[in-house]
Structure 1
Amino acid sequence: MNNPFFDQARDGCQKAAKEIGGIECLYIGPADATEQEQVELVQDLITKHVDGIGVSAANAPAMAKILARAKEANIPVVTWDSDLLPADKALRATYIGTVNEQVGVEVAKRAMALKPNGGTFCIQSGGPAAANMNDRIKGMLETLPSDKWKQVDGCPLYNNDDFPLSLSQLTDLLAKYPKIDAVLDAGGAPQMVTQAYRGLMSKYSDRLKNNDLVMLFVETLPMQMDLLREGLSHGQVGQRPFEMGYQAVYVLNDLTAGKSVEDPITIGLDICTTETAETCRKQ
């Protein structure tokens, strides 16, 4: 809940509920990115027999075990942002969001454009059991030519969506590998502690300016776009969380009315560079 990405999804959810009328968007989640607490909150919703559940699964296998109970209780479920594993997809009606492998592909393509000769890199990610993050990593690794790009020892790094930890990991990484060519983030955690990230990156301003060190992230939240404009990032691959939350409510409303829905419901991406920062985001 301390992530501005989810704040935008909340706003979309509430707007849709207001438009439909007669329904309520309950926006709940763990205060921090705690997988077990998220599972417990969903279990509580099932016990209360809410009319529908939309969830971004932090731990896909653990969430599937709980959503099996929702299916038994005939509570419609949609996933958004982060889906269940393929074997468990029958537990939800649809997935609403981006094709996460494509997110990783776009990050890798930006790295390749800036570093055509390749180099050394590290991937930073959130939770190791988050299906969306793992799909993004897969997209990166399958796109980067293995004869040109080599991941340094100890990577990927997993921060479990702990923002201060992610920055600490990044600090240690850049100190350990002072000549590393690129950091590819499957999320945007270090940028969420914006002033601290800004302070860290200021130490590498020359390398950043010359594309000697390339920093790439996912999401295009306002503070991230500021960092991009300042030259403290070389690219942001943005999802559209407002649209995810908005669509989730309409889809759940259709499901409770007995209507069928498409699966998946794909939402596009915003690919932002320093040059396109003012025009790249969907309004």
Structure 2
Amino acid sequence: MAKSIDDKNFIDAWQGCNAAALENSDRCVLLGPTGAAHLRKQEQAILGALESGKYDGLAISVIDSKHLAPIIKDANVPVITFDSPLNKPYASLSQSYVGIDNFELGQSLAELAKLFLRGKEQFCLMTDMHDANLALRVSGVRQVLKASGSSSANAPNWYEWSRSPWNTSDKIDRSLIQLNGTLHSMGQGAVISVGQWPILDEVEYREIATPFFNQFDRQEIVVVLATGGHGVNVAESLLRDGLLHGYVSVDFYAIGSQIYQVLRNLSNGLNVEETYLIPVTKHFKE
């Protein structure tokens, strides 16, 4: 159950799941709302899947744990989470979690920013305020850069820009408007996007970033982000052209393959681990 079936990362996860399933004459089905992630639409899709009786298990990327809990607590099939887990008060409702350590991903992004930025050590975050897993990434960034919110009282070196964090609302066009405003207004500093929104429209991203090429080259402005699937190809192209300093990649295909194995074991009455973590990888020019 994706947050959005239009999101290329969830499509990659489904492809990995289905490829593994076909080896055993099973199949995985990609379910969820279209367009941007939407809590109510995801809830409706989950209810529809459970009521249909068509599925032997359900893997959910959680938008909101509190709202999801009443829906899945009496599910008559195994339920696991992936990509975005249930919050601690509700974690027991999921029999396993498959995905990355989102806090660690945030830490990796911060380490990339520290590796490159020269000069004014401020940063601006881009996120989607409604996603629990992205909140963990934001926390990871702030932990490494020793900042909390927009307060810098206890951060002698790094501090968060006054307009940070931007809420992209999971929209590409909105993220690009925010990126453009940040590059023109922040001056020196690091833009750290915990998702891949800005680069999903590569043409527009290049138009916004190219006028700042000299600042990028001198590492006065640094841009790092998290991506997966097709976004990795775009990120590599931007990295080669000096319009991106680094990125952290997530292998959603591998996540999908692991999802199938866990659901298959559960449907066969076998025990599974509480967590299956897929490593993330940092990429940057040496």
Structures share fold, TM-score greater than 0.5: yes
Q: Structure 1 residue aligned with 2:166, among 157, 165, 179?
A: 157
Deviation at 1:265, TM superposition (A): 0.5
1:202-213 pair list within 5 angstroms: 202-213=210-221
- Say which SS state the counterpart of residue 219 (structure 1) adopts: strand
Rounded to whole Å, the distance in 1 between the matches of 2:80 and 2:180 is 37
Q: Give 5+ residue unaligned stretches, structure 2.
A: 147-154
1:35-50 pair list within 5 angstroms: 35-49=39-53, 50=55
**Change over 3 Å in CA distance of 1:141–1:86 after alignment to 2:** same
Q: Deviations over 1:79-99 (max 9, x none)?
A: 111111011111111110111
Aligned residue type for 2:145: L
- Say which SS state the counterpart of residue 248 (structure 2) adopts: strand
Task: Kindly indicate whether residue 63 of structure 2 is the aligned counterpart of residue 58 of structure 1.
Answer: yes
Partner of 2:149: none
Task: Kindly indicate whether residue 234 of structure 2 is the aligned counterpart of residue 229 of structure 1.
Answer: no
1:210-221 pair list within 5 angstroms: 210-220=218-228, 221=232
Q: Structure 1 residue aligned with 2:22, among 13, 18, 21?
A: 18
Partner of 1:267: 278
Partner of 2:137: 136
Rounded to whole Å, the distance in 2 between the matches of 1:116 and 1:131 is 31
Deviation at 1:117, TM superposition (A): 5.9
Q: Structure 1 residue aligned with 2:264, among 243, 253, 258?
A: 253
- Say which SS state the counterpart of residue 279 (structure 2) adopts: coil
Partner of 2:106: 104
Q: Is the 8 A contact 2:176 2:205 kept in 1?
A: yes
Partner of 1:281: none
Q: Structure 2 residue aligned with 1:28, among 31, 40, 47?
A: 31
Q: Deviations over 1:39-97 (max 9, x none)?
A: 211111111132111111123332233222xxx13211111111110111111111101
Rounded to whole Å, the distance in 2 between the matches of 1:29 and 1:73 is 17
Moved over 4 A (4+): none
Q: Deviations over 1:258-278 (max 9, x none)?
A: 111001101101111124xxx
Q: Give 5+ residue unaligned stretches, structure 1.
A: 276-283
Q: Is the 8 A contact 1:60 1:130 kept in 2?
A: no
Deviation at 1:122, TM superposition (A): 0.6
Q: Deviations over 1:6-52 (max 9, x none)?
A: 2211210110111121x221112221122221121111111113211
**Change over 3 Å in CA distance of 1:4–1:274 after alignment to 2:** farther
Partner of 1:194: 202
Rounded to whole Å, the distance in 2 between the matches of 1:174 and 1:110 is 18
Aligned residue type for 1:31: T
Q: Could you state the TM-score of these two structures normalised by the residue count of structure 1?
A: 0.90
**Change over 3 Å in CA distance of 1:257–1:182 after alignment to 2:** same
Deviation at 1:154, TM superposition (A): 2.3
Rounded to whole Å, the distance in 2 between the matches of 1:117 and 1:174 is 15
Partner of 2:156: 147
Partner of 2:152: none
Q: Is the 8 A contact 1:157 1:169 kept in 2?
A: yes
Q: Could you state the TM-score of these two structures normalised by the residue count of structure 2?
A: 0.90
Aligned residue type for 1:39: E
Aligned residue type for 2:138: I
- The root-mean-square deviation of aligned C-alpha atoms, in Å, is 1.5
Farther-moved stretch of structure 1 (220-229 vs 91-100)? 220-229
Deviation at 1:116, TM superposition (A): 6.4
Aligned residue type for 1:56: S
- Say which SS state the counterpart of residue 57 (structure 1) adopts: coil
Q: Is the 8 A contact 1:13 1:245 kept in 2?
A: yes
